[in-house]
Amino acid sequence: MRLVFWGTRGSIAAPGPDTVVFGGNTTCLEIDTGSGERIILDAGTGIRALGLKLAQHMPLRCSIFITHTHWDHIQGLPFFVPLFVPGNSIDIHGPFDPVGLKDIQDVLSGQMAYPYFPVSSAELKANIAYKTLSEGQSVQIGEAEVTGLLMNHPVISLGYKVSCGGKSIFFTGDHEDYGNIYAPGDQFYDEYEEIIAERRARQADFLRGVDVLVSDCMYADDELRLKAGWGHSSPTTCARLARSAGIPRLVLTHFDPTRNDEALRLFERAAREAHQGPDLSIELAREGMVIDL
C-alpha cells in the first residue's frame, strides 16, 4: 500500500508562506492499495488537489471514507473534480448523524444546498453511491478491507483500519483519549475508571497488528489539559495509544491552524524526545508525504 497526505490541518485551512513545509490544507489521505483500488480518507480542502491529479486518469473508480462530518473533514468535497465527470464511479461512506437523524448522503448534500454552493449534489454527473456505516462494519474494496471503529469526539466519528496484502493502516480521524468525568473520591469514580479501561482495551485489541497509526494530534499536552472535551489528542495520548497496541510507527496530523512550520518543527522534536524509542518511531505528517508499506 501507498499512503499519501493531501491535507494535514485541523479546524480550518491555513495557507501561506509559514505553512509550506507541513501544509495548510485540511484533512485528506489517499491510499493506493497497489491492486488497483484507491481509498480516500476524509475530504478536507486537500481533496481538491487530489481530484486534479486523479482527473488526469479518468474514467475513475474510488472509495471515499468520511470519519465525521465537521467542516474541516468534508469542506473540500464540492471541489473534487471527479464528482462532476460522467463515467466516474465514486462510493462515499460515512457515519449516521443521530442528532439530525440524517444518513451520510443527507449530511453531505446539505453543504451543497443552494444558500451555500452553486451546484447541488443532485447535479453531480459521476455515478455516486452513498453508504452509511456503523461501528465494526467492514467494507471490501477489491483486495482491501476497511473497517470503522467508534472514536471519542463531540460528533459520531469513525476511525478507519485499512488492510491489504498483509499490511494495515489505522487513521483515527479526530479523537480524544477517554477521561473520567468524576473526581477521585466520588462514588462513581471507580466504576467509570473500569469503563475507561474496558474501552481502551477494546481499542487496543482492534488496532493490534497495525503497521502505521495516523493520529489526530492537535494539541500539546499542556494545551490538552485546558481543552478537555474538545475531542482531540496530544503526543502523550497518541504515543500511549500506539504502544497499547504494539504499533511501531506513529504519524501525527491534524495540526492546529495557528501552528506555523517552525512551531511544528519544535512540536515534532518535543514529541520525539518525550516518547520515541526502539519500539516506536514518531513523525509529523507533511502535505505530499508518502509512506510505502
Mean pLDDT by 10 residues, the chain (293 residues): 98 98 98 93 98 95 98 98 98 96 96 95 97 96 97 97 97 96 93 95 97 98 94 98 98 98 98 98 98 97
Residue with cell 505530499: 288
What length is written for the chain? Answer: 293
Kindly report the CA angle at 27 between 24 and 28, in degrees rounded to 5?
Answer: 110
Choosing among 3.10.450.50, 3.30.1330.200, 3.90.1150.10, 3.60.15.10, the CATH entry for 2-292 is 3.60.15.10
Provide the 3-class DSSP secondary structure of residue 292. strand
In this structure, how many other beta carbons lie within 10 angstroms of the beta carbon of residue 224? Answer: 21
CB burial class (10 A; 0-12, 13-18, 19+) of residue 217? Answer: buried
**Packed helices 189-207 and 235-244: angle between N→C axes, nearest 10 degrees:** 60
AA letter at 251: V
Determine the pLDDT at residue 234. Answer: 98
Among 145, 144, 149, 121, residue whose Cα is nearest residue 133? 149
Residue ranges per structural domain of the chain? 2-292
Question: What pTM does this model have?
Answer: 0.97
Determine the pLDDT at residue 36. Answer: 85
Residue with cell 462514588: 187
Evaluate the CA torsion angle 9, 15, 21, 25 in order and state its sign.
positive
The enclosing H or E element of 49 equals: helix 46-54
Cα 190 from Cα 195, distance rounded (Å) = 9
Q: What are the phi and psi torsion angles at 18 (to 5°)?
A: -95, 5
Plot region of 23 (φ>0 → left; ψ -120 to 50 → alpha; else → beta): left
Cα 71 from Cα 238, distance rounded (Å) = 23
Among 117, 141, 118, residue whose Cα is nearest residue 129? 141
